[in-house]
Amino acid sequence: MCVENNELKILHAGALRKPMKECVQMFWKRFPDVEVLLDYSGSRACARSVLEGKNADVIALADPHVFEDMLVPRYVDVFFVFATDQMVLAFDDFSRKSRSIDNENWMEVLLEQDISFARSDHNHDPCGYRTLMLWQLAEKYYEHNDLFNNLNSKCETNWIYPKSIDLCEALLEGRVDYAFIYSSEAEQFGFKYLKLPNKINLSSPAHADYYAQVTVTLTDSNGRVSLVKGAPIEFAVAIPRTSANKVLANEFIRILTSSDGEKVLESCGLIPC
């Protein structure tokens, strides 16, 4: 039985940090006395924590596939697909070769000896497996033999961060020159970025079949292996069955998907859908 209270626990993907905080501000205008607890992590790490008994009233993740793969039907019935995005290669003025990198030469630049680039961990974060998909798609698209292997072997363990938002901090602090992140994150942090071709940036349902040619193998902490197929980027939100406050959770999702919520998503660089 669900016990209603005056507390709303939101568990969300790190990439949704800013829009979630702004939607909570809107929520507080209607429900000023509700205590909202925000917790974030990579989306797969979020789902794993729910499997391990973590309580949440709202779960917002960076990939609907994570709901399907890990939480439906035991913990979640329905998840609402509310936004889309695309992968970009982000950098700033202090990144080496930032003045000469472009859409034609980015692969060669990244493979130069003195250039560092980062991605997030594919086992914890959709942005991580989407980066590996992007590299595979780029190999096909540019007919660049061994591109995936070359990028993957160069991107050392200490350039792999738990979640995409960590990459933004690494880039900001100059720990790496380049990072594969979402366009919305690059916009929020004010980074420069290369907009990559639609056939490889995972932005468009028009290329769903092309994206589906590539897969990434994921391994969780228990050694369970699963396969994730390339697909257009989408973000989804759900109320878990175990939510102790479904009424307020519904209200929050109503705000997130309202026209005001959509304005917040747009202002954060996401595309409401």
- Give the nearest distance from C-beta 19 to another protein in angstroms: 16
Instruction: Select 174 or 205, whichever has its Cβ closest to another protein.
Output: 205
> What SS3 class is residue 27?
helix
What does the per-residue mask of binding to another protein show for 49-68, with x meaning CB under 8 A? ---------------x--xx
Q: How many residues bind another protein (CB under 8 A)?
A: 25
- Give the nearest distance from C-beta 114 to another protein in angstroms: 35
Q: Does 72 bind another protein (CB under 8 A)?
A: yes
Tokens found for residue 147: 């591109």
For 37, 72, 112, 208, 242, the CA distances from 201, given in Å and listed in that order, are: 33, 27, 22, 11, 35
Q: Does 261 bind another protein (CB under 8 A)?
A: no
Instruction: Select 67 or 159, whichever has its Cβ closest to another protein.
Output: 67
- Give the nearest distance from C-beta 227 to another protein in angstroms: 19
CB 114 within 8 A of CB 95: no
Among 95, 120, 203, 243, binds another protein (CB under 8 A): 203
Among 49, 98, 152, 204, binds another protein (CB under 8 A): 204
- Give the nearest distance from C-beta 126 to another protein in angstroms: 15
> What SS3 class is residue 92?
coil
DSSP of 148-209: HHHHHHHS-GGGEESSHHHHHHHHHTTS-SEEEEEHHHHHHHT-EEEEPPHHHHT--GGGHH
Strands 58-61 and 234-238: antiparallel
DSSP 109: H
Q: Does 78 bind another protein (CB under 8 A)?
A: yes
Please compute, for residue 145, the number of CA atoms within 13 A of its CA located in the half-sphere on the CB side.
Answer: 0
DSSP 230: -
- Residue burial 68-87, b: 16+ Cβ < 10 Å; e: rest: eebbeeebbeebeebbbbbb
- Give the nearest distance from C-beta 184 to another protein in angstroms: 11
Among 54, 69, 75, 80, binds another protein (CB under 8 A): 80
Measured CA to CA, the distance from residue 79 to residue 149 in angstroms comes to 35
Q: By C-alpha distance, which of 211, 251, 262, 195 is closest to 32?
A: 251
- Give the nearest distance from C-beta 199 to another protein in angstroms: 9
Among 51, 111, 206, 247, binds another protein (CB under 8 A): 206
Candidate segments 10-18, 53-61, 113-121, 202-210, binder of another protein by CB under 8 A: 202-210
Candidate segments 9-17, 137-145, 158-166, 256-264, binder of another protein by CB under 8 A: 256-264
Chain residues binding another protein by CB under 8 A are 64, 67-68, 72-73, 77-81, 84, 198, 203-206, 208, 232, 236, 257, 259, 262, 271-273
